[in-house]
Structure 1
Amino acid sequence: MPLRRDVLKWSIAASGAGLLPKAARAAADPKAMLVYLCPPDGEAPELATPSPPARPFVQPLFVPPIKQPVERLVPPPDPRAHQLYKDYLPRKFYEIREQEFVWCYHPDAPYDKGSGSWGFDGSTPGPTYHARYGEPVLVRRYNELPTVGVSKVNFALPSTTTHLHNGHTASESDGQPQDWIDSGEFWDHHYANFPARQDPREKLTTLWYHDHRMDFTAANVYAGLDGFYLLFDDEDSGDENDANPRAWRLPSGDYDVPLIFHDILFDENGQVRWNSFNTDGILGDRYTVNRKIQPFFEVEARKYRFRLLNGGPSRFYRFALSTGKPFCVLTGDGNVLPEPIDADQIYLSVAQRVDVVLDFSQHRPGDRIHLVNNLEQTNGKGPSGRTLDPPVPILEFRVKAATGPDPSRVPKRLRPLPVVDMSLVKQHRVWEFDYDGGLWTVNGKVFEPNRIDAGVERGSAEIWTIRNGGNSWSHPVHCHFTEFIILEVNGRPIHPTTLQDHVDGRHVFTENLDPDNGKRPRVHTFMGGQRRDVATILPGDEIKVYIRFSDFLGKYVMHCHNVVHEDHAMMIRWDIVEPGKGFVGSRSVRQVYGTPPAPPHLEPRPANGTQQADQVEDDR
């Protein structure tokens, strides 16, 4: 299937050549013509036509249900289709269904009639997985979306692939952009749920799953295809009454609440609106939390754990509380910090996550507290750097009396960082994110799924420098498969004790030199910990990171998580290859894997369910 941008490119070349300058026509150079993929001059921004008004805080927060396993899958999964399957046999099986339905974003007209939406198992966000380390699972994902021309969602593509962001997952289960299924098909995802190299310091906590279909990630996620995947273990056990002395006893159950933020545009009829010509990034004027416009949430006068996730597609947030009180920060992205940190504000670029604990015990029943966004952003390229005054309230907490004692706590210590072993480093690579000829590029190239831009040896480590080549846009850069450790920001060394802050548009760094002074470290604006899966590069930024690659082989990607930029080609493919077979520079898939161009670690999938069943019996 040709890429959307190729279709546009050659359509322009074939049918619109008479509109191009003579030099471009004479050159017959597709790259030279890419400049004409820009939106038409003078096109009005989306926000010039505002969404219908909607009263804030008149509807309750939607909390997605917990996903429940099934007894078995029919046909059974094919063990040959998954790396390390026999080493990590699934203990639980899940079926999840991508579906279309009508979703009510707000009870006021015209929203009360609902908008055509996509999601999982009838809701958006989809159900929340509660998974545990040491308990592998297999998720069978069915695409039950209506075909093009039939769907109520007229801007997305019912061809999907779901990425578990940022699971330590084999390539074939990662949800790669080119591994899509169409309506009526299913895909099996094997989530082994073990930390990289079995190192407990590599464990994760708050992950999320979302569509990652090549060229249509932004539209498909905007349509509703995302949800949470939470990982637990003996420390982060998900039980505030846990008697295990190793357990942290963080707020759990009804007091552990995932929150995904999307800003959305609506038309005059209350239907979700999308602009396919916008290549900078889509901004909405209605702020949603778990796909409800500015909801309220009743909280008891006790501690809560909130998992904040910026679901995009393009807006950055800087969150604060209307009370002026700090957040108690537990994580940066899916990574638990070495110790909790107090922060007056939380900075979230697209796809970043931060787990916080908020204690409402000092408030009286009837008090109302707002989570507000104070970061100005006027276009999809990134924040302006200015502060919104007044800020925009997004979620209202309504305090009520506690129903019982609060057994939860916040420990003084959490999880140490993985060790940086420079002796394992095999390569240093530079990745420059920039804009060229109407498309977003990495190292001057647009994404090509049959081109591998880095061959990384399994078992090695590398140093990657991630650079912003522009001075008027920001990029949240996400690398699949593995977390990275930040070594430098704009030439400033980062140590395990370094706290990165952001004040008045500038990066600020302090050293937490006395972690045993009895007080939590405090920053003005939390930008994320040293270990992350999203590198937020603001205009002119350069971040140097340390990455290790272990356990699996196969294809992965790195891309800008302003998913409009991603869909307009700001992505690279990199592969984990056998030791001794690594390479620098770009190579075709055929050069690396031969003919047919298939990674050698996967067996052909059986043609039907009978063969699958026979294979399972043989494996037993």
Structure 2
Amino acid sequence: MLVANRLDRAITSHWHGLHVPGWQDGGPQTLIAPGSRLDQTLEIEQPAGTYWYHSHPHGETGEQVYLGLAGMLLIEDAGSSHTELLPVEYGVDDIPLIVQDRAFTRRGELAYDDDGMALMQGFRGDKVVINGAISPKKHVPPGIVRLRLLNASNSRVYRFQFDDGYEFHKIAGDAGLLPAPVRMDVVELAPAERVEILVDFSDGRTRQLVSPDVPVSMMGGGMMGNGSMGRMMGQGASSDPDQMLLILTLEVDQAKKASKIALPTLFSQAPSPDFGEPVRRRKFQLNMMMGMGMMGAMLGGKADLGINGKTYDMGRIDETIRLGETEIWEISADMMAHPFHVHGTSFQVLSQNGRRVDYASTGLKDVVWVDGSAEILVRFNHPAGPDAPYMYHCHILEHEDAGMMGQFTVS
């Protein structure tokens, strides 16, 4: 991988979801200065799937990703039997979809704000763009089509569905294939999550992929949950769950030839969880406000967000982890829900709010939606030293930039 920085500010190149050593991970400690280049050889030892990359400098990740420093990264395995079962013609029946929301000035320029309300709930634009285009149309063949969806928005959650309620099959999550396709009519993606779905267009009908305007997920009752503050934070005034956002129009072109006309039933080479017995538990609490009042932040002040009562400090190692040991991490969130991302590995989600999560419906993950609490089973097979540690953080990028992040070594 060659990354050249032609900007006037430092960037990084974080390979989101890749299992690489800390010094190659592209976290805040490994800046690429203006005018510099980074040339890396990445050794890929993980399942085929849909991954991505983005800039990750502390305090500027939200703005840099929003302005364009992000993209999709596909890992393929030509020797795997699943390539015989799935659509694989890039851009024809295997279609990457990078989903982001954007706000524009009257001149058509990108507008970004990370203060006040944007800090508290994360920045949310009023236009959805797909691969950089607003409300695009895609012509597809009359057969099985594979859509790879990446939520690359700074904070928005999507519940993808078709306008006519048409069913589809989920075949992969963040880190590779599921054991078998799962039928559904709605799939939810928090920021940084990915999903692959198969859609059968053999009936020739045009369909629109849509999502409701999902409100910010606040927790608790009274003022924060359902009262005036809850509405200000996105449960009423700033989001309308009855409004459908148009994501993409898919129109069948009978002149295109479908390479697959039948749905697969089983993926024999899909990854399976093989972590071994956990040797310890760790607890992480995502803290919304520290050291100042909420109203002050909403009125334009700065807030310190944190994890386990500490805001992020580049000079502090928060956790020390043993190479190759399996752990259970318990993550809890106060005030609102958060997507929690762990660098350098993939994990299995064991439970959410005390309810067991079925691996067959999620597969391996690197982001977990924490709306209350979650447990994950995790192991690290690559080292990360104190000069280039791994990160764990909320993937609402404005929360990450405000300090809802920690760092850890693996040795």
Fold in common (TM above 0.5): yes
3-state secondary structure, aligned to 1:531: coil
Indicate conservation of the 8 Å contact 1:173/1:188, yes or no. Answer: no
Q: CA deviation at 1:264?
A: 0.6
Indicate conservation of the 8 Å contact 2:175/2:364, yes or no. Answer: no
Indicate conservation of the 8 Å contact 1:236/1:250, yes or no. Answer: no
Unaligned stretches of 5+ in structure 2?
Answer: 219-229, 292-302
Cα separation, 2, equivalents of 1:444 and 1:167: 29
What residue in structure 1 maps to residue 368 of structure 2?
Answer: 535
Please point out which of 143, 151, 162 is paired with 2:13.
162
What residue in structure 2 maps to residue 308 of structure 1?
Answer: 149
Would the alpha carbon gap of residues 325 and 164 (structure 1) be closer, same or farther in structure 2, given more than 3 Å must change? same
What residue in structure 1 maps to residue 4 of structure 2?
Answer: 142
What residue in structure 2 maps to residue 33 of structure 1?
Answer: none
1:194 aligns with 2:32: no
What residue in structure 2 maps to residue 546 of structure 1?
Answer: 377
Cα separation, 2, equivalents of 1:496 and 1:395: 29
1:396 aligns with 2:240: no
Cα separation, 2, equivalents of 1:163 and 1:483: 15
Please point out which of 72, 87, 90 is paired with 1:228.
72
Cα separation, 2, equivalents of 1:341 and 1:383: 31
Cα separation, 2, equivalents of 1:323 and 1:480: 38
Aligned counterparts, 1:266-285, within 5 A:
266-277=104-115, 278-280=118-120, 281-285=122-126
- Matched AA of 1:296: K
3-state secondary structure, aligned to 1:220: helix
What residue in structure 2 maps to residue 417 of structure 1?
Answer: 272
Higher alpha-carbon Rg: 1
Indicate conservation of the 8 Å contact 1:433/1:442, yes or no. Answer: yes
Cα offsets for 1:192-226 (capped at 9, x unmatched):
0113xxxxxxx241011111111101100100011
Cα separation, 2, equivalents of 1:482 and 1:301: 38
Q: CA deviation at 1:183?
A: 1.4
3-state secondary structure, aligned to 2:403: coil
Q: CA deviation at 1:481?
A: 0.8
Q: CA deviation at 1:262?
A: 0.9
Cα separation, 2, equivalents of 1:464 and 1:311: 25
- The root-mean-square deviation of aligned C-alpha atoms, in Å, is 2.2
Would the alpha carbon gap of residues 262 and 407 (structure 1) be closer, same or farther in structure 2, given more than 3 Å must change? closer
Q: CA deviation at 1:567?
A: 0.5
1:449 aligns with 2:302: no
1:250 aligns with 2:87: yes
3-state secondary structure, aligned to 1:218: helix
3-state secondary structure, aligned to 1:172: helix
Cα separation, 2, equivalents of 1:551 and 1:449: 21
Larger relative contact order, structure 1 or 2 (CA cutoff 8 Å, min sep 6):
2
Q: CA deviation at 1:390?
A: 4.0
What residue in structure 1 maps to residue 391 of structure 2?
Answer: 557
What residue in structure 1 maps to residue 60 of structure 2?
Answer: 216
1:481 aligns with 2:344: yes
Cα offsets for 1:78-108 (capped at 9, x unmatched):
xxxxxxxxxxxxxxxxxxxxxxxxxxxxxxx
Unaligned stretches of 5+ in structure 1?
Answer: 1-138, 148-157, 196-202, 240-246, 500-528, 578-620
Cα separation, 1, equivalents of 2:130 and 2:171: 21
Q: CA deviation at 1:359?
A: 1.4
Cα separation, 2, equivalents of 1:496 and 1:404: 34
- Matched AA of 2:106: E
Cα offsets for 1:213-244 (capped at 9, x unmatched):
111011001000111111111465785xxxxx
Cα separation, 2, equivalents of 1:159 and 1:237: 42
Q: CA deviation at 1:265?
A: 0.7
Cα separation, 1, equivalents of 2:161 and 2:234: 16
What residue in structure 2 maps to residue 433 of structure 1?
Answer: 286
Please point out which of 180, 183, 187 is paired with 1:339.
180
Would the alpha carbon gap of residues 494 and 238 (structure 1) be closer, same or farther in structure 2, given more than 3 Å must change? closer
Cα separation, 2, equivalents of 1:379 and 1:426: 33
Would the alpha carbon gap of residues 289 and 491 (structure 1) be closer, same or farther in structure 2, given more than 3 Å must change? same
Aligned counterparts, 1:289-328, within 5 A:
289-328=130-169
Indicate conservation of the 8 Å contact 2:349/2:359, yes or no. Answer: no
Would the alpha carbon gap of residues 430 and 338 (structure 1) be closer, same or farther in structure 2, given more than 3 Å must change? same
- Matched AA of 1:570: M
1:182 aligns with 2:44: no
What's the TM-score once normalised by structure 2's chain length? Answer: 0.86
1:353 aligns with 2:210: no
What residue in structure 2 maps to residue 263 of structure 1?
Answer: 101
Please point out which of 157, 170, 173 is paired with 2:24.
173
